[in-house]
Structure 1
């Protein structure tokens, strides 16, 4: 199957402001997006998606009849829609509100106002989520690489799994927290661990330390996925626990591809 390009994209734009709809639509046209449907409410968006779907949803945060989070959850809970990439465009800066979207596995978060370069990168990330491009490794057959994904959010695990599967990985197990991950690590062999940082029972830092201090697992590369700022107090010393790479949420395919090639080629 040929890869989807920007000119093939069918985007559903959900934006309550007439002015903002016109601005964003014009920027999408400049990016040579093929088809753009624009609606102004959550209800209209749900109707449009169930009527004719979309390759990508680009949505504001707040509406008279609901929020983008309600729309995103509706998409993720519908089997026919759950793989649709979702891009948030918002002036919201509260970490707690944005965290809900990051945990749900969205493609990108764009601030208002945003620069064309930001939009281009977000669209490229969305295409990476739609298209499949197998990673080529010197030392491994990518299909045989055994990955353990650890995250307490089901939606986040689904998003990470989709990114990895699009790169050709087929052997993927999941755990809801570090304690469950340790049980799997005792019983099975893995070539890579992708773990969230903030989790109940045992967080990503504790899990990484257990992996590194156990001779049977000390060799396994660890990618930690987090929405924490890289220069935060929590993250400042995290690599001392043996984490090989830090990856921001949203989990961007190009960044992950680079990490995989570096970690699994050593």
Structure 2
């Protein structure tokens, strides 16, 4: 199947403000996106999505009959639409409110107002979720890479799993938290662990420390995915526990691709 281009995209824009909708549509047109339908609320968005002719949903956070989160969760909980990328456009800065979107599998979050470069990056990120490009490793067959994916959010796991599968990774074992992950680590071999940081029972830090201090697992590379800023002092301390790489949520293909090339080729060649 031929990969989509930005010019091929059909976007559903959910924006209650006529002025904002016009501005965003104009910026999309500048990015060579010409298939844009505009609706104003959750009900209209769900009606359009049900027609199955939407490639990406771009939505404001606050709508008259609900929020963008209602649309996102509806998308991700329906098997027929779970692969449709969702981009949030919002001036909201509340960490708690944005966290809900990150845990539900948002592809990109754009500040309002945003610059064209922000939109360009978000479109490319969403496009990578729609397209498949197998990762070419010189010392490792990507189809044989065994990954343990740990996250307490099913929707977040689905998003990360999709990014990995689009790169050619087929062997992915899912765990709901660190304690659940331990049951797999004791019985199976893995080439990579991708774990969330904030989880109940056993968080990502505790899991990473177990992996590093256990002689049978100490060699496994660890990628930690977090909603916190990866440049914060707190996350720098986390990295000192033996985590090989930190990734922000949303989990972006370009960043992950570079990390995998570095970790897996380096691991196999060491």
Note whether the superposition's TM-score is higher than 0.5. Answer: yes
Stretches of structure 1 that go unaligned for 5 or more consecutive residues are none
Query: Normalization by structure 1: what TM-score?
Result: 0.99
Alignment of 1:206-245 (within 5 A): 206-245=206-245
Shift of 1:240: 1.2
Tell me the CA shift for residue 229 of structure 1.
1.6
Residues 111-148 of structure 1: CA distance to partner in whole angstroms, max 9, x if unpaired?
00000000000000000000000001111110000000
1:111 aligns with: 111
Q: Which residue of 1 aligns with 2:130?
A: 130
The count of corresponding residues between Structure 1 and Structure 2 is: 266
1:184-223 aligned within 5 A:
184-223=184-223
After the TM superposition, which residues 1-266 of structure 1 pair with which residues of structure 2 at under 5 Å, given as runs? 1-266=1-266
Give the SS at the match of 2:186: helix
Contact 1:208 1:222 in 2 (8 A): yes
Deviation at 1:231, TM superposition (A): 3.7
In the alignment, the residues of structure 2 paired with residue 244 and residue 4 of structure 1 have an alpha-carbon distance, to the nearest angstrom, of: 33
> C-alpha distance in 2, partners of 1:43/1:56?
17
Divergent runs of 4+, >3 A: none
TM-fit CA distance, 1:238: 1.0
CA drift of 1:234 comes to 2.7
CA distance in 1, matches of 2:241, 2:70: 37
Q: Distance in 2 between matches of 1:105 and 1:48?
A: 20
| Alpha carbons 1:125, 1:252 under 8 Å: kept | yes
Q: Distance in 2 between matches of 1:231 and 1:143?
A: 32
